[in-house]
A and B are shown apart, each in its own frame.
Chain A
Amino acid sequence: MAYVYIPVQNSEEEVRVALDQLPRDASDILDILKAEQAPLDLWLIIAREYFKQGKTEQFRQILEEGSSPEIDEYYADVRYERIAILNALGAYYSYLGKIETKQREKEDHFILATQYYNKASRIDMHEPSTWVGKGQLLLAKGDIEQASAAFKIVLDGDRDNVPALLGQACVQFNRGRFSDSLDLYKRALQVYPNCPAAVRLGIGLCRYKLSQFEKARQAFQRVLQLDPENVEALVALGIMDLHTNETDGIQKGMENMQKAFEIYPYCAVALNYLANHFFFTGQHFLVEQLTETALAVTNHGPMKAHSYYNLARSYHSKGDYEKAGLYYMASVKEINKPHEFVLPYYGLGQVQLKLGDFKSSLSNFEKVLEIYPENCESLKAVGHIYVQLGQTEKALEILRKATRIDPRDAQAFLELGELLISSDAGAALDAFRTARGLLKKGGEEVPVDLLNNIGVLHFERGEFELAEQTFKEALGAGIWLAIMDGKIHNSHEDMQFFQQLDGDGTSVELSWDKVTTVFNLARLLEQLHDTEKASLLYRLILYKYPDYVDAYLRLAAIAKARNNIQLSIELIGDALKVDDKCPNALSMLGNLELKSDDWLKAKNTFRLASNATDGKDSYATLSLGNWNYFAAVRSEKRGSKLEATHLEKAKELYTKVLVQCPANLYAANGAGVVLAEKGHFDVSKDIFTQVQEAATGSIFVQMPDVWINLAHVYFAQGHFALAVKMYQNCLRKFYYNTDTQVLLYLARTHYEAEQWQDCKRTLLRAIHLAPSNYTLRFDAGVAMQKFSASTLQKTKRTADEVRSTVAELKNAVRIFSQLSAASSQNFHGFDERKIETHVGYCKHLLDAAKVHCEAAEREEQQNRQRLEVARQVSLAEDARRKAEEQRKFQLERRKQEDELKQVMQQEEHFERIKEQWRSSMPAPKRKDRSQAEDEDGGHSEKKRRRSGKKRKNDKGSKSRYDMDESEAEMMDDHEEMENEDATNMNDQEVETNEMNDHNGVGADNPQDFLVAAGLEDSDAEDEAVPSSTMNRRKWAWSDSDDDQPVERQPVASPNRENSTELPDSDGEIRESNKLNKDADVDDEDDD
């Protein structure tokens, strides 16, 4: 038991005060002290005792009393004790200030502390303990430089002043000059070997900071030897253990932490580390408690940052992003420089990313990257944000960097791949495959969606086998294998099939994550034309997931491709039952309605589709545009005003689509068509060419229309050869040569190019392909008729030609007669009269041909005779000439060889005769003109006469040509005539005169038929006002079926067939997008 003896004034007695029994009320003691005028050191001792007992109030009371002006006065000579009291107060307030968390009061405490120290200094400027106190105060205030100066003053006076040494060591430590700090601590220890454990702690910390971990550990352990309850040492050792990253170490570390916590529950470091530990063990409740305590007990910025970070992380992992964000933010606020503690930035970035605040998130991740420029996770996150912000280029750059830095990061490759999908499918595929390889190598399961994406990319590149393999790999075992191997067939188009299978005990399972892949596999099978299996897979999807609209749509598309419109409409109906606003389903329905000629319904459906997406669905808008285009060109009576309105509307709609989506090929094509319709061929040609180029990249874009349209433009511009090429290529490339409509265009082009035989062949092919299309037969008849007529007009023709003409005419007559007979049975919608006219005309031509034929045959006969005569004459002549030559030759020779050969004369004579006989055989045929002329005098005259006739006939024949044109026009369009008729009419006027002249020729002149045929189409003549637009006439070809009720479908639509394609590819893209999103979610969680 310690006692203090207070001497009683003016006596030898003392008052004994038991230090552990100090009165609660300090005033009692104070009264004694004052009354007895006790020495000031006693005041100090008692105050200190109070402080030790935690009675700070009493402590303060005594010291304040002890530093009051009265005391100053009374004890004026007792300088040291007064200073000590003031310093004690200063230190006390420094401490208060240091631990105070509220800034205001902290300041107040520091101000008080400063006042006390200053007062102490006033008593004695040179008192070292005051300076040490001041130094400590400055340290507490964070004013390291001034603190250093204060300690230096002390040390300059006494270089072994231990408190100053410690203070200075602390300064150096805070300055980061750890070895200097270490030296100071060492000196302090040398000077005062029994110093408290804290000094060794400082040494340990310095060693730690200097990475001398073993020595640090020794130091800490020494501290603990001296003071087993030294929390700091425990914590420090704990940290070191934890950092060994071994199970042992971590366990030991945690034990240390726990010990520290038990000793002193308010050590922030220990709390944080414990919290960290419990975070990983998932005990979030503990984490919160510990960190909240830590926050309450510390004021140290970085420490608080850690605590907030721990809290934030806990909330983050629980999915409370709002709170997590707030705490991360708090943590970040405590950090002066991101260098000190970067993790909360990362966490904050993640949370902001999750909450969609990309800009802030980006800036946080960028801070992380400033410190760790090669941090893959952050790079990936930044890349991802750039993607979200639409800055693809930057995103690519970042992700490429990430994959370069860590070529083993499957996740980064995955992200890179997803990013590349839209821009560079090949590179995307490479990235995905690398990711797959990495995952496989790492023994991880390759996610279904990754395999799915790889499969889709292979699919899009046309690598179907690889795609199939990949999809199968993604799907693993399941009922689909049985379907793929053809072990399950289904002949019934309903779902009961699977129910039956289910009932039979076959497992019909399809987990949700595999639906997309099954769908894609089905799409692939469709592409491979294995429609049956594809249908089964779609039905499997629908059996399990009846809301999967896309599967309905595909089934509908399959039914549509098989022309089962009824089933197709039913399936769309099912899809609409799931979602009555599904724009794809509505669009397809519209398309089907158009196909079944239900125009008004179609228009309404397209409107609905368009409304369902607020007009954002390009397809619906496009379809409306097409609708208007068809409406413009279909009406039989072309109200030019109505047509213009519809065209304008169509153009407007196409433009709207192009504004929304400038890369829409179909809209561009449509715009091209409208332009062509208006006669701007060059512009439309450019457009078509570009669209064609663009369309040749993808397997999903099949745009035969643009080829046809280009061909139409060539046709309209008179480049028939090019048009033919284009039509033929189109047929081959897109239709397996099966499209009769394009064949009809081709025939028409041949017709226009006057290639009658090609025209006829093409039409026969078309008939063979579409036997029930009687229009084609009619056209074939017309082509044959035209061929015959044109052959008969030729000035020179052989009897063979004429004979084949006759045969052709007979065929034409037969065709027309058959049509005529058939029309009575109402097979087709031809006007019987029209056919009769053709039959009549052909028969007439046939009669004419007979004459021609006879004439030609006669002529040929004569020709043959003439040739024969000529040949013989020439033979004779030849022989004569040969003989002459021979004779001359012989004469010369004889002259030369006379003397020599006289003996052989007899023999030579014989030879000569032989020679003559022989040479006459292969006499070269050479016409002797004069001879032939003589022989053929009458002929040539006839010729001349005939050529004269021919010239006259020319006009007639021209009109006849025109007439044929008018015939042909029946095959095509009224429009066709406009131009021709203009000339035709003029000609006819001239002709009336000629007609009289030629009446005599009779058979040669088919004018009466001409008139009949010409008048036939009175409409056309009415319209034959000087043709305004030749262009339009030709263009109108694109729906040349106006008067062919059998084939009214607007086949040359700028957009046909895309109906199925467009929704598909949309669907698919959507699929992979879905996956992207899934992947993102995964992303958030790893840390």
Chain B
Amino acid sequence: MGGNDDSRIRYDTKTMPSSFISILIAVKSGTGALVPLLAFLGLYALAMKLAGLKSVENAHEESIWAATWVPATDARPALLLTGSLDETVKLWRPDELVLEGTNTGHCLGVVSVAAHPSGVIAASASLDSFVRVFDVDTNATISTLEAPPSEVWQMQFDPKGTILAVAGGGSASVKLWDTATWQLVATLSVPRPEGSKPSSEKSGSSKFVLSVAWSSDGRRLACGSMDGTISIFDVARAKFLHHLEGHSMPVRSLVYSPVDTRVLFTASDDAHVHMYDAEGKSLLGAMSGHASWVLSVDVSPDGSALATGSSDRTVRLWDLSMRAAVQTMSNHTDQVWGVAFRPPGGTGVRAGRLVSVSDDKSISLYDYSGR
């Protein structure tokens, strides 16, 4: 199954029903029906695939732990933002991955980076629990956020760009920061699941929140924790809705489908990627194939493919209609901490791009061709 890069035309009628289902789901939810429909009507015949474009060895002096795309602005194309154990955050210009700038100012490793949908500002966070919000083009510090004793893990701006959600680690909560005032506006606490002992020794870390994801309509927020539970919040009411069960190991990354606001993809240390109906609380499917922890997951802009990065040093591309890995990239030599599809938009940039960053200090850029 490895290294499957055949570009044969696949028109397999037997797999059609499942894509039909995804159309139905899409139609039902009323959004994004177009893409799978198009896919179904013809483009379906093309196999999706990744092709390596460029790799930068020693892009950082140490392990690279975070990567995200800064959306294009009128003045420039989308940029790549990476954060590393070497305490720096770097900006790169595709496709040649030219280094645009190096931001210092963090102590201890940089664990996550996030970009505002406008592409103007971005945030980076390090192990010392500071979040630095800065202007992408000038590197001017806009604000420094901290909410002790809560530490900082994954962050994400909401689709409209009004709130920055920050996974608050041991505080068992997600902190929401207003992007206009940079004030803490809400703390979404993860409740303990009913029936668990109130204060056993271990429970302190059990709801340790590692990861956050916004739904594409910005109404829902999901967060993943060390013990594998996923919590769904209604953002408008700042209310916890329910847990999603299925993982029992840390969920370090999750992402909502861009075409269906109900569908959530989660990556866990249990080497699985799960696909949930986040509203209906049900597990739609589980995908296995990675040999070790799945550290990062991202969904392609058309919603038809997933990319995952794993401790097993590989990047995998998953065809959601087949629920199977269609390609495995093995160019990294150490854990792959981040994968990110470039968001669509920007002048003259139509081609799909995926980037991956790794403990091996390198960045890899791939061409992604969907169906």
- A interface residues (Cβ-Cβ under 8 A, vs B): 486-487, 489, 491-492, 528-533, 561-565, 735-738, 761, 764-765, 767-768, 771-774, 780, 807, 810-811, 814-815, 818, 821-822, 824-829, 1045-1046
Contacts and interface: CB of A to CB of B under 8 A. Distances in A.
Contacts of B170: 772, 774, 822, 825, 827
Most buried by B among A528, A736, A807, A829: A736
A772 B323 contact: no
6 contacts: A532-B287, A807-B107, A818-B151, A821-B148, A826-B204, A827-B205
B312 A736 contact: yes
B128 A1045 contact: no
A562 B208 contact: no
Query: Which among A735, A737, A824 has the greatest number of chain B C-beta atoms within 10 A?
Result: A737
Contact of B149 (A561, A735, A825): A825
B292 A736 contact: yes
B334 to A, nearest CB: 6
B128 A562 contact: no
A466 to B, nearest CB: 14
A735 B312 CA distance: 9
Given A489-B323, A564-B248, A761-B85, A738 B292 contact: yes
Contacts of B169: 771-772
Contacts of B149: 818, 821-822, 824-825, 827
Given A529-B290, A563-B248, A736-B312, A772 B208 contact: yes
A780 B127 CA distance: 11
A761 B62 contact: yes
B164 interface: no
B127 A764 contact: yes
Contacts of A773: 205
A292 to B, nearest CB: 66
B272 A531 contact: yes
Nearest to B169: A771
A640 B21 CA distance: 66
B63 A811 contact: no
B247 interface: yes
B20 to A, nearest CB: 14
B370 interface: no
Contacts of B335: 736-738
Interface string B307-330: 000111100000000111000000
A531 B62 contact: no
A532 B290 CA distance: 11
Given A738-B293, A768-B65, 9 more contacts: A530-B288, A532-B286, A736-B313, A765-B63, A765-B109, A774-B170, A811-B107, A1046-B201, A1046-B202
Contact of A562 (B272, B287, B290, B292): B272
A771 B153 contact: yes
Contacts of A810: 107
Contacts of B288: 529-533
A491 B208 CA distance: 26
B351 interface: no
Contacts of B145: none
Given A486-B322, A529-B291, A771-B169, A764 B272 contact: no
B30 interface: no
B271 A531 contact: yes
B291 A562 contact: no
B108 A764 contact: yes
B345 interface: no
B108 A738 contact: no
Nearest to A773: B205
A489 B286 CA distance: 9
B289 interface: yes
Contacts of B287: 532
A829 B200 CA distance: 12
Which of B63, B65, B85, B248 has the largest number of chain A CB atoms within 10 A? B248
A565 B210 contact: no
B300 interface: no
Contacts of B339: none
A563 B284 contact: no
B226 interface: yes
A765 B85 contact: yes
Contacts of A764: 85, 108-109, 127
A773 B108 CA distance: 16
Contacts of A492: 283
Contacts of B63: 765
Contact of A737 (B127, B202, B334): B334
Interface in B54-94: 62-63, 65, 85
Interface string B118-157: 0000000001110000000000000000001101010000
A254 B359 CA distance: 85
B85 A828 contact: no
Contacts of B151: 771, 818
A533 B1 CA distance: 14
Complex A-B, nearest 3 residue pairs according to Cβ-Cβ distance, in ascending order: A772-B205, A821-B149, A562-B270
Given A491-B282, A736-B312, A818-B129, A486 B324 contact: yes
A491 B284 contact: yes
B276 to A, nearest CB: 10
A561 B208 contact: no
B226 A529 contact: no
Contact of B201 (A533, A767, A825, A829): A829
A807 B108 CA distance: 11
Contacts of B247: 562
B209 to A, nearest CB: 9
Contacts of A815: 128
Given A491-B283, A765-B63, A562 B201 contact: no
Contacts of A561: 270-271
A772 B4 CA distance: 38
A1046 B205 CA distance: 9
B249 interface: yes
Nearest to A811: B107
A771 B206 CA distance: 11
B226 A767 contact: no
Contacts of B272: 531-532, 562
A828 B282 CA distance: 33
B365 interface: no
Contacts of A564: 248
B188 to A, nearest CB: 17
A811 B108 contact: yes
Contacts of B313: 736
A738 B208 contact: no
Interface centre among B153, B204, B269 (most CB of A within 10 A): B204
B174 interface: no
A828 B270 CA distance: 24
Contacts of A486: 322-324
Nearest to A820: B149
Contact of A772 (B226, B228, B249): B226
Nearest to A562: B270
Interface in B191-246: 199, 201-202, 204-205, 208, 210, 226, 228
Contact of B285 (A487, A491, A767, A818): A491
B333 to A, nearest CB: 10
A529 B271 contact: yes
